[in-house]
Amino acid sequence: MVIVMAAGQSSRFGSDKRIARLGNEETLLSSTLQTIQKNFSNSRVVIKPEDNPQLLGLTPANHTVISQRSHLGLGYSISDAFRQLCSDESIHHYRAAAVWLADLPWVSEETCSVLTKMATPESIVQPLHQGNPGHPVVFGREFWHELALLENDRGASPVIKKHSNRVIHVSLNDPGVCTDVDYPDDLTKSLKNTRSTQAPHKTTTKITLKTKKDS
């Protein structure tokens, strides 16, 4: 399943980037959700208390999580989302959940497939592009309670760092995992042209075995 982080303040963008239009006239948030819905059967969209879901283009089919502490930073929004996940018995059978930033619409279908296949309850799967860490990051169910306790503005990086020996790094030929939207000019990025000039998608993995100390 996927947790879509859409409760940010868009301070660098200058306006609500979630409803900004891409070249195809779709909003940024709707484009990201379309990518997710094509590849995952269950998702939750994390929004702010003052948000109007309809104005964001969300429908009753889009399950939402209201983050009461979103103004404090990404870590608090992640925490609010995973607190709800941990208390929801209907999703306890899922082995992992991907944390996906709402401004990341260009992740490829093949990347989604690779990350899903590599996910386990005991691992954290993080994509890389040209050595740079990207998103979405897939957290095994074993880490959900720890994510529910986050209190920072840096997101889930403390959990990833603490459990570095549980992280599976997947090197992908997909610039979409590192191409988000921070400024209005970023909306004009076209990864279709980039992908058309690339070699066939190749995947390599780097796995560090867990130790008893971290079990």
* Domain containing residue 47: 2-188+203-208
Does residue 196 form part of some domain?
no
Q: How many CA atoms lie within 13 A of 124 on its CB side?
A: 25
Residue 9: predicted pLDDT:
86
Does residue 37 form part of some domain?
yes
Mean pLDDT, to the nearest integer, of 180-199?
64
* Among candidate residues 169, 173, 24, 189, the one with its CA nearest the CA of residue 110: 173
Nearest-10 crossing angle of helices 28-39, 109-118: 50
Mean pLDDT, to the nearest integer, of 67-88?
96
pTM for this entry: 0.88
Torsion angle (degrees, nearest 10) of CA 175, 180, 181, 182: -120
Does residue 76 form part of some domain?
yes
- Indicate left, alpha or beta for 50 from its phi (over 0: left) and psi (-120 to 50: alpha): alpha
Find the helix or strand (DSSP H, E) in which 196 lies: helix 191-196
Residue 189: predicted pLDDT:
63
Reported as a single tens digit per residue, the pLDDT across 85-133 is: 999 998 889 999 999 999 999 999 999 999 999 999 999 999 999 999 9
CB 174 within 8 A of CB 111: yes
Residue 162: predicted pLDDT:
97
Reported as a single tens digit per residue, the pLDDT across 195-213 is: 443 444 444 555 444 433 4
Does residue 118 form part of some domain?
yes
Q: What is the mean pLDDT of the chain?
A: 88
Does residue 157 form part of some domain?
yes
Does residue 30 form part of some domain?
yes
Q: What is the residue-wise DSSP string for 200-214?
A: SP--EEEE----GGG
Reported as a single tens digit per residue, the pLDDT across 18-65 is: 999 987 789 999 999 999 999 998 999 999 999 999 999 999 989 999
Q: What percent of the chain has pLDDT over 90?
A: 76
Q: How confident is the model at residue 11 (pLDDT cuts 50, 70, 90)?
A: confident
Residue 188: predicted pLDDT:
79
Reported as a single tens digit per residue, the pLDDT across 157-178 is: 999 999 999 999 999 999 999 9
Task: Say which CATH number the domain at 11 has.
Answer: 3.90.550.10
Total domains, the chain: 1
| Separation between Cα atoms, residue 62 and residue 43, nearest integer Å | 8
Residue 166: predicted pLDDT:
97
Does residue 96 form part of some domain?
yes
Reported as a single tens digit per residue, the pLDDT across 140-155 is: 999 999 999 999 998 9
DSSP 8-state symbol, 122: T
3-class secondary structure per residue, 154-191: CCCHHHHHHCHHHEEEEECCCHHHHCCCCCHHHHHCCH
* Among candidate residues 23, 24, 28, the one with its CA nearest the CA of residue 182: 28
Does residue 194 form part of some domain?
no
What are the tokens at 142?
């074993």
Residue 122: predicted pLDDT:
97
- Is 100 strand, coil or helix? strand
